[in-house]
Structure 1
């Protein structure tokens, strides 16, 4: 008990000694006296805490309103295109990520609408992103919106990778989209000057522009502030480690508009559905089909070689681990023997080493 009292005595702060003279603001009520000048530090800390809490609630409200406004504006469009336009409604993952899952349409297995918004609810992250964007001109944090159409196999007439990309996005998309490494980047006179085409072969682009109406929509200046990329791909976005049946996707990446401008890209979003339906009409030259097939066969062969090499390395590592475990067990067994027996074993090992070295010398 005495030790507990001693501990309390050590951690209890000393009593506050109010000075005899005080000429600041003072509030009295009966025997209670409050002098604000003595609590300046506490007032600053409380103000900082209230600011942080207010920043959190305002920031999460901003992000929620963006996602909710988008969902409300495009609800009718999704209803006309899918039998289940909002399977679980607008799903929230944290305070800056939101999702809408739609399914039940010809040619489209599912549509994932993915919001990855800036962390306005997090004061420190917001400050970091703002300051770093001033230091690194290549760093540009944005509110990302992605519409990812997973297609049925029959929806894409041929396996290819193709994209239209805003030129400001080229570096970022090359760093984050492995599937687009199959393509070559070029300008196209049919597109606005701020857009580039990423295609495996020229006739892929020609056939897409010929058989779909997407070109007219991409020329609309109203979507320019929001458009990042539109891609068609039969390859995964990250490099695979094994051979598997790839999924086919149409992916639209946008900068998420503010709630007051949520309807600005509506023409582009609406045009995606006939665009997806028209992909089955894309026709390619026979030599292009052969080249596309060879490219994928060559990569699958590379994956198989890498998988075999990795399996071989794993087996070798397992053998090394097994040998190490045996050596450790043998060392533990020897350490328990008497010194005389240990000396015999060491002498036997020495003679064995001499014989091995002599045998190697004879073979040479």
Structure 2
């Protein structure tokens, strides 16, 4: 036992206390150890053998193994610091970008909400709202929906002559500066890549005489539509377009490509008219519209009245007229929307003007119908050619099946004779075709 204690504490075995003679039960037990200092190795050995670690630390030397700040410095964590800093910077930029976009979108809806609430019974996605004095002070969050950090949308319905209105705001990708810079750079080198811009795109869908398909009076404050209400007007394509986007617009949209382009002395030189008839232009180019265009300035991209699809029709069903009114303008960097409100108000009320007066002479409509009929004829011809090709393939398939059945029922000699005759017929056909060509 004394040897074990000596091994544990690194010193001589303590002297044994007197043991009563003849009492062998206490022979293996030693007396109390001398009060000698305890070193670090002594503590480690005792702990390793399951012994009790002394509680006194006055004589234990604290080395670098305990003091982490002596063994490591901040220079050892450079790589971790760079990664952590990059992550923090990315999060901060994302939060700043999304916050800036939300602020700009809220600024737009704050400026346009009074116009929308004045013209429509339902604005936004939170259901009908009762007008009150608080409307000018509190802006309901349901007026605008965030589809993505750069895209916001709103909706309105409940107005005479208008089925509903969709508005989309597209903002810069401020939450991803690298992506935004790359898009701007690519637009400089590739003509097919338009320059990124913050814009509002609104699409208004007129009733066009189909009020009976809805149930009027369901929304509080909505206009009661009588059965004799007529909201239809003649279909045509007409547009006011910024010259900077005119070429791109004509390439991208089928409906606009049907029109002719002509400048008007009544309009600023940066804008042009795209129309199917001069009489339609004379009717739509009102002093109120001209004034609104001048106030909007070159932020206005286009105002389009159309009944044709945006994409090239591929089937006859695609040629069915679907009337819409489109408005697109860029957002001002200053955040002041006062100059754009007149064109937005005119855009909403344009359906009233069309219902009242867009009923043109037969000569005008005949010219408009010619283009549509030509497109329909081309689709009908393509459809007939496709069906004829399918019928020809079916005939060839049936002919081949009949030939295979006939060959299968013949013996080897008869099959050889049959194939020779077939080859002769093919040769005669080829010679006949060559003679006709010559």
Q: Which moved more, 1:282-291 or 1:101-110?
A: 282-291
CA distance in 1, matches of 2:386, 2:330: 40
Q: What is the deviation of 1:283?
A: 4.6
Tell me, yes or no, if the aligned pair for 1:65 and 1:259 is still in contact at 8 Å. no
**Whole-Å Cα distance in 2 between the matches of residues 113 and 51 of structure 1?**
33
Structure 2 match to 1:112: 166
Q: 1:301 to 1:359 in 2, by over 3 A?
A: closer
Could you state the TM-score of these two structures normalised by the residue count of structure 1? 0.76
| Closer/same/farther in 2, CA of residues 31 and 145 from structure 1, 3 Å limit | same
Relative contact order higher in (CA < 8 Å, ≥ 6 apart): 1
Classify 1:127/1:204 alpha carbon distance in 2 versus 1 (closer, same or farther; 3 Å).
Answer: same
CA distance in 1 between partners of 2:148 and 2:108 (Å): 18
Q: Secondary structure at the match of 1:147?
A: strand
Q: Is the 8 A contact 1:28 1:34 kept in 2?
A: no
User: What is the count of residue pairs matched by the alignment?
Assistant: 318
Q: 187-196 or 67-76, which moves further after superposition?
A: 67-76
- Aligned residue number for residue 117 of structure 2: 79
Deviations 1:50-82 (A, max 9, x none): 222222222222222222221222112111111
| Alpha-carbon distance in structure 2 between the residues aligned to 1:104 and 1:250 | 17
What residue number does 2:199 align with?
A: 144
Q: Gaps spanning 5+ residues in structure 2: where? A: 1-63, 127-141, 210-230, 405-409, 433-438
The answer to whether the 8 Å contact 2:239/2:302 transfers is yes
Secondary structure, counterpart of 1:74 in structure 2: helix
Q: 1:234 aligns with which of 299, 303, 307?
A: 307
The separation in 2 between residues aligned to 1:66 and 1:318, in whole angstroms, is 61
Alpha-carbon separation, structure 2, partners of 1:94 and 1:151:
28
The corresponding residue for 2:372 is: 296
After the TM superposition, which residues 191-340 of structure 1 pair with which residues of structure 2 at under 5 Å, given as runs? Answer: 191-210=267-286, 213-220=288-295, 223-244=296-317, 245-258=320-333, 260-280=335-355, 281-313=357-389
- Name the CA shift for 1:167/1:360 in 2 (closer, same or farther; >3 Å): closer
Specify every segment of 5 or more residues in structure 1 that has no aligned partner in the other structure, as ranges.
1-26, 331-343
Give the structure 2 partner of residue 175 of structure 1: 251
Choose 1 or 2 for highest CA Rg: 2
The alpha-carbon deviation at position 307 of structure 1 amounts to 3.0
Answer yes or no: is the 8 Å Cα contact 2:235–2:321 preserved in 1.
no
Partners of 1:29 and 1:307 lie apart in 2 by 86
- Distance in structure 2 (CA, Å) of the matches to 1:311 and 1:66: 54
CA RMSD after TM alignment: 3.2
Distance 1:68 1:47, change over 3 A: same
Is contact 1:87-1:103 (8 Å) kept?
A: no
For 1:60 and 1:345, locate their aligned partners in 2 and report how far apart those are by CA, in whole Å.
Answer: 82
> Structure 2: how far apart are the matches of 1:359 and 1:264?
80
TM-score, normalised via structure 2 length: 0.64
Residue 102 of structure 1 and its aligned partner are, at CA, apart by: 0.8
- Could you say which residue in structure 2 is the equivalent of 1:135? 189
Q: Find the aligned partners of 2:413 and 2:73 in 1 and give their Cα distance.
A: 88
2:242–2:298 contact (8 Å) kept in structure 1: no
**Rounded Cα–Cα distance in structure 2 between residues aligned with 1:37 and 1:96:** 40
SS at match of 2:274: strand
| 2:95 pairs with 1:57 | yes
